[in-house]
Amino acid sequence: MGAGMIRTLGQAARAIGGTLIGPDAPLEGPIVTDSRQAAPGSLFVAVAGERTDGHAHLASAAARGAVGALVSDLDAARQGLGGQEAGPRGGSEPPLGLILVSDTVEALGALARTHLAHLRAAARDRGSDLSVVAMTGSVGKTTTKDLTRQLLAAAGPTVAPRASFNNEIGLPLTVLEADESTRYLVLEMGASGPGHIAYLTGIAPLDAAAVLMIGHAHMGGFGSIEGVARAKAEILDGLGPHGTALLNADDPRTAALADRAPGAVLTFSRLGPADIRAQGVELGQGARASFDLTLPGLEGTRRVTLAVAGEHNVSNALAAAGLALAAGVPAGLIADELGQVGIESPHRMDIQALGGDLLLIDDSYNANIDSMTAALAALPDLAAHRRRVVIVSEMLELGDSSQADHRRTGELAHQAGAALLIGIGGGTEPALQAAGALGTPTLGFPDAATAIDQIGTLLQDGDAVLVKGSNGSGAWRLADHLKEARPR
């Protein structure tokens, strides 16, 4: 590591203004918030969450080799260590070094901020670069993150979030995975209220930032679509003076943010004029889109066929190409790789052939009306001649638009040719009513467990089954059950 890098508990404590209690030790393992992921040399961050308090798991982290922990409550830490003394009042020394702070989540962010600043300084000293890119939007963040990671990895060592690590805990954990070999750092930035993205860019100032779409996600936390727009625009404020903003020209609210960008702006579109374009879009086998790619720096156009399904993923692919271009990847390499990259995170348009010739379309990680619309639009091409079964769980955090958005879901399921619409949770009742009124058979279950118990009697061999819903409402549990119950 270069000069100024954080290599010990003592250095970490000083960097974040904490107090080290107990032994100092080298930090040689991962920084984790889950004690089960601790390893020799780890720093465990004790987060007090809704379900459990990390302080209660200090002994578990220590048993797995953690050498230190970020804590905010000494009494809780002492109890978590099985009653061993964890303070300066005498008694035995704790089995791992404790860094006492007022707020462990804020301390985690401060540690990541310092770490990234040191990495950038070390890169400059070597005459190298560390490019940090990020994306936000109501739809497509994680897919775009996966595609961007692969494009950048083709050009150099790249670090990106696992799954959907896009909040005040997941983002700093991702930053802390980078080291001096990292050439590109990809970050996903989510928000469920104003100020959330500004906090994240305060940890990781950006070289390139993409706004994918301003839609109806987490409406309950923003109050209005205008509130969503203001919150997503915070990512542009996190750009450095030479940073590049990448904006979706097909979404008027996103395109209107161009004046907010501090520097260069790139636009992308699958519908009209833009810097990065997809023209002549055609859907082929498996609903995979082919198009003529226009990309600055590329001679002429290049015909690309995506590996990911769904026409909506054309926009995500263009955004990934733009972020890679802004990070310095040659246009020719981007064009060569764009048709090879795929979705890496679970429950995102994961299409699998299961036993009994069942085609499962698992898009169950999260949902709002925009992503629901995209998934149902892709269903006819994916299902082809198969009987279509749509399983939806409740879309959460929609605020006042919840009933209308669920009604629209029922209408869209009917338009997609669903032979059966299954709803999980009481919030899906408007969807079932709307689809039923149009003639689509429907069935509702109070929860995922009940649906899992009965789903085997409702599906037929050869069906195409789309599973979609918010993470917290459990559709993913049914998708996982089908994968286990019908192994290929």
Annotated binding residues for ATP, as ranges? 137-143
Look up residue 287 and give its DSSP letter: G
> Strand, helix or coil at 278?
strand
- Please give the Cα distance from 185 to 366 (Å, whole number): 24
The pair phi, psi for residue 361, each rounded to 5°, is -110, 100
The pair phi, psi for residue 445, each rounded to 5°, is -125, 145
Question: Which residues are annotated as part of the binding site?
Answer: 137-143
Query: Which residues, in sequence order, are bridge partners of residue 188?
Result: 135
Q: Which residue from 183, 146, 138 is spatially nearest to 398, judged by alpha carbons? A: 138
Q: Which residue from 332, 367, 322 is spatially nearest to 348, judged by alpha carbons? A: 367
- Please give the Cα distance from 396 to 403 (Å, whole number): 11
* Helix-strand-coil split of the chain, %, nearest 5: 40, 20, 35
User: Are 317 and 303 within 8 A, CB to CB?
Assistant: no
- Please give the Cα distance from 45 to 66 (Å, whole number): 10
- Please give the Cα distance from 294 to 462 (Å, whole number): 39
- Please give the Cα distance from 214 to 226 (Å, whole number): 9
